[in-house]
Amino acid sequence: MRRVYFLSDFGLEDPYTGVVKAVLKGRAPGVEVVDLAHDLPPQDLRRAAYALYEALPFLERGAVVLAVVDPGVGSERRAIAAFGERIYVGPDNGLFTLAWLLDPPREAFLLSWPTSSATFHGRDLFAPAAAHLALRLPPKALGPGLDPKDLVRLPLALSEREGEVLTFDRFGNAITTLTQAPPGGWVRVGGSIGRRIPIRRTYAEVPPGEALAYLGSAGLLEIAVNRGSAREALGLREGEPVVLE
């Protein structure tokens, strides 16, 4: 049986996360479900896409990745299962954009099973499909095939020198789309009149309250404030341009 890795914005205050896991275990008794994250900012596709990108290198090949951050639930957005080295189940809304840079899908299917709720596809559509695939049952039973090239991607790209603020973690660190951060260099955020920030290896290389940039654990340049929040202290926003100098 395949292991299922579950990510959502359902949180833990309401029973939504637990109900999805109950459906998984009810349909695939004995399945192992690993929680990747559930307290993501509600409906924040960029933050969720980064969370998947950060986790993916540590998920074994063949695993089922069940991800449900779904602002368009009940609309005409498609529900899909996509197959690369791993299997991705969730809404076709760009959620898997960054994960697919590491593991491009080679095959995809439209989930066309009937649902009892228009607003809880995590329970009624995605969890049953993930259980089906965890049991290694035929994917063609899920619905008609799709061209993987037609799956929705967010307008995001990773680059070496020019990029943008992708998202923020819970500490207020800004994760960018830049893939290098040479110590001793500088990064400018906010355009030509923006702020110039030194690149260092660790937080301790600048005094408390000072800003720095560094190569984060996921291999992307991050901007932080030692013992503070870069988002608040520097007034950063998603989509702001960042340039390596």
Q: What one-character-per-residue DSSP string does 159-197 give?
A: BSSEEEEEEE-TT-PEEESB----TT-EEEESSTTSEEE
CATH number belonging to domain 4-150? 3.40.50.10790
C-alpha span between 90 and 82 (Å, rounded): 9
Higher pLDDT, 115 or 83: 83
Residue 95 CA to residue 206 CA, distance in Å, equals: 35
Per residue in 160-187, pLDDT tens?
999 999 999 999 999 999 999 999 999 9
Contact 176, 243 (CB under 8 A): no
Q: Are 83 and 89 in contact (CB under 8 A)?
A: no
Q: pLDDT tens, 99-149?
A: 999 999 999 999 998 888 899 999 999 999 999 999 999 999 999 999 999
The answer to whether 80 touches 93, Cβ cutoff 8 Å, is no
Q: Does pLDDT of 151 surpass 80? A: yes
Domain spans, the chain: 4-150, 162-244
Q: Cα separation of 126 and 59, whole Å?
A: 19
Q: Are 164 and 176 in contact (CB under 8 A)?
A: yes
3-state secondary structure of 133: helix
Domains 4-150 and 162-244 share a fold: no
The reply to whether CATH 2.40.30.90 applies to domain 162-244 is yes
Res 214: pLDDT: 97
| Whole-angstrom distance, CA of residue 206 vs CA of residue 183 | 13
What single letter denotes the amino acid at residue 30? G
* Contacts of residue 239, Cβ cutoff 8 Å, sequence gap at least 6: 164, 165
**Residue-wise pLDDT tens digits, 93-113:** 999 999 999 999 999 999 998
